[in-house]
Amino acid sequence: MTNWMHHLLILPILLPLMVGAAMIPIDERNRMAKGVMGFVSTLALFILSMVLMRIASMDAAPAGSGVYQLGNWPAPFGIVLVLDRLSALMLCLTSGLALAAQAYSIARWHTSGHHFHSLFQLLIAGLNGSFLTGDLFNLFVFFEIMLAASYGLLLHGSGPLRVKAGLHYIAINLAASSLFLIGVSLIYGATGTLNMADLSMKLAALSPDDRQMVEVGAGVLGVAFLVKAGMWPLSFWLPTAYAAATPPVAAVFAILTKVGIYVILRLSLLVFGASAGASAGFGQSVLLAGGLLTIAFGAIGVLASQAMGRLAAYSVLVSSGTLLAAIGLGHPSMIAGALFYLVSSTLTIAAFFLLIELVERGRDAGADVLAVTMEAYGDADEDEEEEEAGAAIPGTMAILGLCFCLSALLLAGLPPLSGFVAKFAILSGLFGLSGTDAAPAISAADWTYVTLLIVSGLAAMIAMNRVGIRTFWASIENTVPRVVVIEITPVVVLLAACIFLSLQAGPAMRYMQATADSLFDPAGYTERVLSAPRAGGQ
Amino acid sequence: MEIILSAAIGVLTASGVYLLLRPRTYQVIIGLSLLSYAVNLFIFGMGRLRVNAPPVLEPGGVGDLGRFTDPVPQALVLTAIVIGFAMTALFLVVLLASRGFTGTDHVDGREQRHD
């Protein structure tokens, strides 16, 4: 591994940070230039994350690859960035999603407020940092970068409803950040380390008193992540906030909940994995119960939603719940399927958020949640006509309808698309159909999970059917929305990514399986981080 | 000293949580500030309380851990203070925006009816 290759690992954080900062002094009138700058930067990130994914999935990686020591301090003392299959996957997903949302925003949404593209880049920097860091406190810092940018983005477009949703969103996240700090400092107080790899090594050897303190700390920390992930009793802020956000922002917010899931997956398997002694499997029952309740709550919410924005927001909850419960059940054979589900559902929900606004554009201004959207248009109304660049697409309703059908299939998890493949992979892992190991005993919790997984799919199907019929078949006003190419392309691309994922399910599942295997091998992770050689002179 | 610090953290947290749950945005922001003070003190306390022990190395004392206090929590507190401060400022802006839009300082943007 040559020297410059080594430095690739910090680029996913540095690049958006620098591009975002460089955009701030540029005048807001050059929005298009900013948009192109941001798009190019995100495109570069996407290619970069592909490269990193390749590096991460090399079997015979040289020692120390994928571990970046900031300031060249070795692991437990300095802060490290760690690249493995899971973080590479998340990086790829983030940049892909960001690419779509950014292209979409260029059509009109970035005009409804200031510094949209800068905030967007900072959000990506925070997300990438959270996925790459191998240090708990560093995770906090990146979390805050991500959250600060997300506050700005949620308020983008302004209007009373967004400000109200933003106020609640900020208040709950600030409270969650306090919990995060309490948890981190408790863990530090008991173990004297913040490095995740070091922590997982030290946990088994702790005295019972100290272990108790670590568990309390991890519990408090977990609450902070579960607020982000939207687990049931902590998720009431989510539907309002997501439904109030502008479409490109909501699309990229689809991955914010996954950050919480990512951290929980990483920490519960790394720190509280099989090697943790008496603490092994800590918190799994909470994740399971919370996850199941979240699926149920989300499914009821999906059925109860009148507006499509809320429907999509409740789908986010269903997706979170499915993943949390899968982590809680803790069967190693299920995790690969769960990761596949994570990718597929994130792409679907993002595409759906983008699609909603296009579909609803043609409808009556007074209709349900549209009040929110229209408010944002209020100020920009006069220059809207000239700002809308690009040609409108022909056959608008047909294309929108087709995209809607695809999202419905994906959300409900019906064959032949990736939503089905993902759920099938989870279930076959649960029932031990993969054939690699003996069939595990199926417990009551497993059956509850299976039932809820299928019922939530049914709920999504019913709700999507109802909304689809109301919008496409029985719509009273026949105004066809004006949709430009640059707006529909991101939706099509995201859905095409799901179709591609279904076609290439074999290779994708192999990657997920390798990811899951490496997650269940915490010793390999710690060994890689702690024994990484320093750059330059040894 | 321990009892004073823990009592201070407890009082700050209790008042912070109480204010956080109040319906006025100004109370919420003060509550969040108190909560962040409590958290900062708590992080500081996690480095164990030492009197007259510097967190930086001094000549002659290298390797003698008994003479120094743990510098890491102090660095963490510094970061947490800065971030907490920035977030409070940001929240303040949103609070003012909300007040401007709705004309009330209720967190839900409208007064509760008392009928």
Domains, chain B, in order of start with CATH, read 2-50+69-102 (1.10.287)
Highest-scoring range by mean pLDDT, A58-67, A414-423, A454-463: A454-463
**pLDDT band at residue A379 under the 50/70/90 scheme:** very low
Q: Minimal Cα–Cα distance from A128 to chain B, Å? A: 19
Is pLDDT at A124 greater than 90 in this prediction?
Answer: yes
Contact assignment for A188 to B73 by CB distance below 8 Å: yes
Which has more pLDDT, B73 or A396?
B73
Q: What is the pLDDT of residue A388?
A: 47
Treating both helix axes as pointing N-terminal to C-terminal, what angle do B25-45 and B2-20 enclose, rounded to 10 degrees?
A: 150
In tens, the pLDDT along A232-264 reads 888 888 988 888 888 889 999 989 999 999 999
Q: What's the mean per-residue pLDDT of chain A?
A: 83
Chain B residues within an 8 Å CB radius of A148: 86-87, 90
A115 phi-psi bin (left φ>0, alpha ψ -120 to 50, beta other)? left
Adjacent-strand bridge partners of A505: none
Q: Residue A416, preceding bond cis, omega within 30 degrees?
A: yes
Find the radius of gyration of the CA atoms of chain A. 22
Q: What is the pLDDT of residue A346?
A: 93
Chain A residues within an 8 Å CB radius of B35: 175, 178
Q: Which of residues 62-101 of B touch A (CB under 8 A)?
A: 72-73, 76, 79-80, 83-84, 86-87, 90-91, 94-95, 97-98, 101
* Mean pLDDT computed over A351-379: 62
Contact assignment for B20 to A177 by CB distance below 8 Å: no
Q: What is the pLDDT of residue A334?
A: 87
Contact assignment for A141 to B83 by CB distance below 8 Å: yes
Suggest the residue from B27, B40, B76 to mutate for an interface test with chain A (most A CBs closer than 10 A). Answer: B76
A238, A176 contact by CB (below 8 A): no
Contact assignment for B102 to A158 by CB distance below 8 Å: no
**pLDDT band at residue A156 under the 50/70/90 scheme:** confident
Contact assignment for B108 to A164 by CB distance below 8 Å: yes
Contact assignment for B98 to A167 by CB distance below 8 Å: yes
Choose among A273, A268, A17: nearest CA to A141: A17
Q: What is the pLDDT of residue A385?
A: 40
Q: What is the pLDDT of residue A243?
A: 87
Rounded Cα distance between B54 and B40, Å, is: 19
Share of chain A above pLDDT 90, in %: 29
Report the half-sphere exposure of A36 (CA within 13 A, side-chain side). Answer: 4
Q: What is the pLDDT of residue A73?
A: 83
Helix (H, G, I), strand (E, B) or coil at B83: helix
Q: What is the pLDDT of residue A47?
A: 92
A500 phi-psi bin (left φ>0, alpha ψ -120 to 50, beta other)? alpha
When mean pLDDT is compared across A11-15, A387-391, B3-7, B23-27, the lowest value belongs to A387-391
Is pLDDT at A429 greater than 80 in this prediction?
Answer: yes
Contacts of A184 (CB under 8 A, 6+ apart): A136, A137, A140, A194, A217, A221, B43, B76
Helix (H, G, I), strand (E, B) or coil at A195: strand
pTM of the complete model: 0.88
* Mean pLDDT computed over A87-115: 87
Is pLDDT at A195 greater than 70 in this prediction?
Answer: yes
In tens, the pLDDT along B53-111 reads 888 887 777 777 777 888 888 889 999 999 888 888 989 988 888 888 888 888 887 77
Rounded Cα distance between A181 and A173, Å, is: 12
Is pLDDT at A196 greater than 60 in this prediction?
Answer: yes
Per domain, the residue ranges of chain A are: 3-199+206-376+390-530
Helix (H, G, I), strand (E, B) or coil at A392: strand
* Mean pLDDT computed over A81-100: 91
Is pLDDT at A271 greater than 70 in this prediction?
Answer: yes
Adjacent-strand bridge partners of A69: A80
Helix (H, G, I), strand (E, B) or coil at A81: strand
ipTM: 0.92
Q: Minimal Cα–Cα distance from B79 to chain A, Å? A: 8
Question: Which value, to the nearest 10 degrees, does the dihedral of the CA atoms of residues A193, A258, A444, A279 take?
Answer: 0
Chain B residues within an 8 Å CB radius of A182: 39, 42
Chain A residues within an 8 Å CB radius of B20: 171, 175
By residue count, chain B amounts to: 115
Distance of CA A30 to the CA centre of its chain: 30
Suggest the residue from A154, A178, A236 to mutate for an interface test with chain B (most B CBs closer than 10 A). Answer: A178
In tens, the pLDDT along A39-79 reads 999 999 999 999 888 888 876 566 556 788 888 888 788 88
Q: What is the pLDDT of residue A394?
A: 66
At A69, phi and psi to the nearest 5?
-95, 115
Closest CB to A137: pick one of B32, B39, B76.
B76
In tens, the pLDDT along B23-55 reads 888 999 999 999 999 999 999 888 888 888 888
Closest CB to A178: pick one of B28, B35, B86.
B35
Alpha carbon distance, N-terminus to C-terminus of chain B? 50
